Structure 1
Amino acid sequence: MYFINKVILALVLCVSSTTLWCQKTNSNNLEIGVLAAGDEALYYGGYSKYTTPLSQNKHHFTLAFSIVAYFDFKGESEPNATLKNDIDMRLLPTINFGYSLNFNSVQINFEVPVGASIAITKGTLINKKIGFKKTYSNTETFFNYGLSFSPKYKLNSSNSIGIYSFIPLVSDKAQSGYQIGIGWTKNISVKN
């Protein structure tokens, strides 16, 4: 445990020092967008991501923190019961390790998001055969990681639009599946 704490502290110091140093060339950015997701059902939601570059190079490594939230309002049914008036939600907080390729007006980002998949389901469980009706609530958390690809078109020096995509490399019981969306990115300059 002591070794893990030392490794985490070393990573935090390394990232924070390189982040301060690299702001002269590459700036932090904040990205927000809407998406559709899912394997077995279609979910709709949004995402937000804060990215910081880790070097001054034209093509550079990045570290990002993101949160994705998507919802499904369609009722689910089992052979003996039905879930009515339900909300099926997924929250995916992640840390993204990435590489950014920068060209004249195009930026291509490859990332490996690592984090959690939190599945929240709430509704009313109904069994008409036996006259059963009960409020239902369930929350489960799973480890989640995958690959993300997001090309962006630079509108000007501080704004970009692009496509966001995520392919999970792990299958969980909550079916936290594929994601595709469109987003807007705002560069945040740091004055030195």
Structure 2
Amino acid sequence: MYSVTRLLVIICLIFGSSSLHAQNTNNNSLEIGLLGAGDEALYYGAYSKYIMPLSQKKHPFTLAFSLVAYFDFKGESEPDAYLKNDIDMRLIPTMNIGYALNFNKIQLHFELPIGATFALTKGTLVNERVGFERGFSNKEIFFNYGLSFSPKYRLNNSNSLGLYSFFPFTSDKAQSGYQIGIGWTKTFVNSVDKE
């Protein structure tokens, strides 16, 4: 874990220093939105992402940090038992390395998110055949990576609307699965760019 943390800090320092130079043309932005997710069950949630361009080119590489949270309130069931009054939550922090294609009002953003999935399930486990009820809690952590694609329509210099999608390269017991949503992006425009 220490080596992973050290690697992430080094990458952030290298790309962060590049992003300071890129502030004149391409600006940092914050993206927030709502999404649906999951493979077997449908989860509802939200996401946020802070995006930093790494160059002043028209089509820059980017570095982003994102946090996705989604929930399922439907009880899980097995042949002999089921959960009632449960909540099933996923919290997914990632670091995203990406590439942005910019055309007049359209931006196509491709990213490779790498991070972790924190899965939490709490509820009451019920087995009617045996006749018991007891509290149930399960916490799991999984490595998570995949491909993210976000087409955006630029409304003006500082606001965009777009779609968000994530397709995992791994499958885990937590059924983290696909994510599809809609989002708003606020670009932090420099005073020079406003003129």
Could you tell me which runs of 5 or more consecutive residues in structure 1 were left unpaired when the two chains were aligned: none
| Residue 131 (structure 1) shift | 2.1
Secondary structure, counterpart of 1:102 in structure 2: strand
* Identical pairs, percent: 66
Q: Number of aligned pairs?
A: 192
| Residue 7 (structure 1) shift | 5.5
The answer to whether the 8 Å contact 2:157/2:189 transfers is no
Q: Which residue number in structure 1 is paired with residue 31 of structure 2?
A: 31
Change beyond 3 A, Cα 1:189–1:148: same
Counterpart of 1:12, as a letter, is: C
Counterpart of 2:55, as a letter, is: S
Alpha-carbon RMSD: 2.0
TM-score, length of structure 2 as denominator length: 0.92
| Residue 6 (structure 1) shift | 7.3
Deviations 1:40-83 (A, max 9, x none): 01111110000000000010000000011111111111122110
Could you tell me which runs of 5 or more consecutive residues in structure 2 were left unpaired when the two chains were aligned: none
Secondary structure, counterpart of 1:21 in structure 2: helix
Secondary structure, counterpart of 1:23 in structure 2: helix
Bigger shift: residues 136-145 or 77-86: 77-86
The answer to whether the 8 Å contact 2:159/2:184 transfers is yes
Q: Which residue number in structure 2 is paired with residue 91 of structure 1?
A: 91
Counterpart of 1:141, as a letter, is: I
- Give the Cα separation in 2 of the matches to 1:28 and 1:158: 10
Matched ranges for 1:1-192 at <5 A: 10-190=10-190
Counterpart of 1:144, as a letter, is: N
Deviations 1:106-132 (A, max 9, x none): 000000000001111000011122221
Change beyond 3 A, Cα 1:153–1:134: same
Change beyond 3 A, Cα 1:160–1:14: same
Counterpart of 1:11, as a letter, is: I
